[in-house]
Structures are given as C-alpha cells and as structure tokens.
Structure 1
Amino acid sequence: MIISKEGVNVVSILGNDYSIKAPEGQEQALADAVIMLKSALAETKRNYPTLIGDRLLVLAALNLCSKQVELKQRHAEELERCQQQVSATVEVISKAIGQV
C-alpha cells in the first residue's frame, strides 16, 4: 500500500490499483483490511486454483463475510451469556441487601 501526499492510499489487488482515502486516523485499519483481503485471496486461490479475476475476488469476499457473520453470531451469544450472569449477580446482591 502506498500513501500519497493527499492522504490517498493506492492499493493493488489482483493487479489492479485502487485509490482509497481513509478517514483521518483510520489508515492502519485500511492497511489491516488490505492485508486481510490479500490473505483471503491467497487462501481462496490455494483452495480453488482455477478461479481468476472477479470470481476469485467474489468468493474471497463471501468467505470473509461468512466469517464475519459467524463472529457476529458468537458475539451476540457471548453478550447474552454475560448479560444473564450480570442479571443473576444483581439478583443475588439484591437478595443479600434485602436480608440485611
């Protein structure tokens, strides 16, 4: 990734250059996203060596989205579990305070 004077990042993906301007302070997030996408493309290419161009890009993007959906679901489940624990703790504390 190349950063120009104007804060525009030039990203090369599958041989094509894309000029992307990241919001101030988000340059590292963009760099991390580029690394993640390139890694996903390489993994997808290993698994499907005959895919090229847009088809490779779309399958890699779908794989990333699938992982994101799974992480979002696990996060929601974990959040629910934590909320149940907090509620149970509050209930125990409320009962203890009521006994004093």
Structure 2
Amino acid sequence: MNDLEFRRTLKIDVTVVDVWVAQGWLIPEAHDGDREFRDDDVARARLILDLTRDMGVNDAGVDLIMDLVDQIHGLRGTLRDMLGAMEQQDDDVRRRLRRKLDTLSSAHVG
C-alpha cells in the first residue's frame, strides 16, 4: 500500500509517518522514491499507536518495545528453523533431542 493509503488506514499525518521511519520503527520498501507499506508495517504502526496514544509510552519506551518485538520475532524464526532441522533428522536423533529438551524444560520449571 502506498503512503497515502497507509496514512488513511491509520488516520495519521505524514509527519507522524516521517518520524516513525526516521526512528526506525517502520522500514517501508522504497520504489522509485515512493514508500510502500506491507501488512506487517500496518500491524507495527497500530502497535505504536496503542503504545503512544492509549498507553502514554514515550519515544524511548517505544524504541525499547519495538526492539524487543523485533528480537522476539527473530527468535521465533530461529526456533522455527531449528524445529525444521530437527524434523529432518532420523528417528533416533529426534528422540534424543526431545529427551534432552524435556530434561532442560523440567530443570527450568522448578
């Protein structure tokens, strides 16, 4: 979606978008000098609006929260890759990995 559609969807001003992009909270794709926003940009923008408008979080807080969201997203991707690699192993290796994970999980619960 283009810049205008993005702003209309979220009911925000162009200066707000410019600040969010400058802060690195949004990283839209650029095509011939025009910004293009994806669905995940809309989701991030809605989170930013919730944080700033509804919860009163300041810029430093938004920086921290967006960084943590990005870290969680990265960790989920890594976990998905690890699980995919695990499923490609033979049955014996998968069983040993599951036992080890169960042992580690039990140790962290107590």
TM-score by length of 1: 0.48
User: Comparing both chains, which one has the higher relative contact order based on Cα–Cα distances under 8 Å and sequence gaps of 6 or more?
Assistant: 2
Q: Give the structure with the larger strand fraction.
A: 1
Bigger CA radius of gyration: 1
**Structure in which a larger fraction of residues adopt helix:** 2
